[in-house]
Structure 1
Amino acid sequence: MSWPGHRPVPFAPVLSRSLAWVAARRGGRLVGFVNVAGDGGLQAFVLDTTVHPDERRRGLGVRLVRAAADEARARGAQWLHVDYEPHLESFYARCGFRPTTAGLLQL
Structure 2
Amino acid sequence: MTITYEWRGDFDNAALNALHADGFGHPVAETDWQARLRRHSLGWVCAWEDGSLIGFVNVVWDGGAHAFVLDTVVARHCRARGVGAALVATAAQQARAAECEWLHVDFEDHLRAFYFDACGFKETTAGLIAL
Residue 47 (structure 1) aligned with residue 109 (structure 2) = no
Residue 106 (structure 1) aligned with residue 127 (structure 2) = no
1:57 to 80, 102, 124: 80
Which deviates further from its counterpart, 25-34 or 75-84?
Answer: 25-34
TM-score under structure 2 length normalisation: 0.78
1:72 to 95, 105, 108: 95
Shift of 1:11: 0.5
Residue 5 (structure 1) aligned with residue 26 (structure 2) = yes
Secondary structure at 1:47 match in 2:
strand
Partners of 2:110 and 2:24 lie apart in 1 by: 16
Shift of 1:4: 1.3
Secondary structure at 1:44 match in 2:
strand
Shift of 1:25: 1.2
Q: Name the structure with the higher helix share.
A: 2
TM-score under structure 1 length normalisation: 0.94
**1:9-55 Cα distance to aligned partner (Å, 9 max, x none):** 21123211110110011122210001100101100100000000000
Which deviates further from its counterpart, 59-68 or 93-102?
Answer: 93-102
Structure 2: stretches of 5+ with no match in the other structure:
1-21
Structure 1: stretches of 5+ with no match in the other structure:
none
